[in-house]
Every structure is written in structure tokens, then in C-alpha cells.
Amino acid sequence: EVQLVESGGGLVQPGGSLRLSCAASGFTFSNYYMSWVRQVPGKGLEWVANLNPDGSDKNYADSVKGRLTISRDNAKNSVYLQMNSLRAEDTAVYYCTRGGGHTWGQGTLVTVSS
């Protein structure tokens, strides 16, 4: 069964940092683009970042460029989102997803507040 499990969310102060992780199973991880998508509770979806299979090509939404960094470890079947200089507007549920949204994790909530 294809599965994605996110972790690492929590409460962080403005300007702080957090690292999200997503563990993949049930498919050949190193063959697929991986992405992070976020959703403010009760609101719509925003595609945050994606990463090609070998990790050499990364794309970011303008709203997070320079502050969030996507990376992966194919040996560990995992993708990460390093979040720095966090702002209140980064508060959202963050989902890990495979390819063009084929599979989604359960999401992890990031709350940026003092």
C-alpha cells in the first residue's frame, strides 16, 4: 500500500524554525517527484514546493522562497521541509504528496504564534 506519513509540526514563535518530515512506503520512492502542499484550516490549498527524483531540481511558491527548503533522502525514503523565518501566515496543515497529487499524507499542523 502506498503511504505517506508526515511529522514534525507544532507550535513555533514568529521568526522561528521547524523541520517537517515525510516517510514514504509502498512504492519506489527514488522514481518520483515529491511535493509539499499546505492548507490554512478551513481554507483552500497552496502548492508550496516540489522536488525531482534525484533532488537536483527544486521549485518554490513565491510566498515561501528563501525561507522554506525542500530536500529528500532516497536512502531513507523521506522528504523534508526545512522552515525558517516563520510568519503567522505560514500557519497551516502541511501535506506531503507524491507526483501531481497521486497520494497524500494525513498532514501535520504548523502553528506560528507568540
Site of interaction with another protein (CB under 8 A): 37, 44-47, 50, 59-62, 95, 100-102, 104-107
User: Which among 49, 58, 59, 43 has a CA at the least distance from the CA of 91?
Assistant: 43
The minimum distance between CB 75 and another protein, in angstroms, equals 26
User: Which among 15, 46, 7, 51 has a CA at the least distance from the CA of 30?
Assistant: 51
The minimum distance between CB 3 and another protein, in angstroms, equals 12
- Cβ proximity to another protein: between 13 and 52 the closer is 52
Distance, in Å, from the CA atom of 86 to the CA atom of 70, rounded to the nearest integer, reads 15
- Cβ proximity to another protein: between 16 and 45 the closer is 45
The minimum distance between CB 109 and another protein, in angstroms, equals 12
What grid cell was written down for 82?
A: 526545512
Tell me how far apart the terminal alpha carbons of the chain are, to the nearest angstrom: 40
Give, as one character, the DSSP assignment of residue 114.
-
- Cβ proximity to another protein: between 15 and 101 the closer is 101
The minimum distance between CB 30 and another protein, in angstroms, equals 21
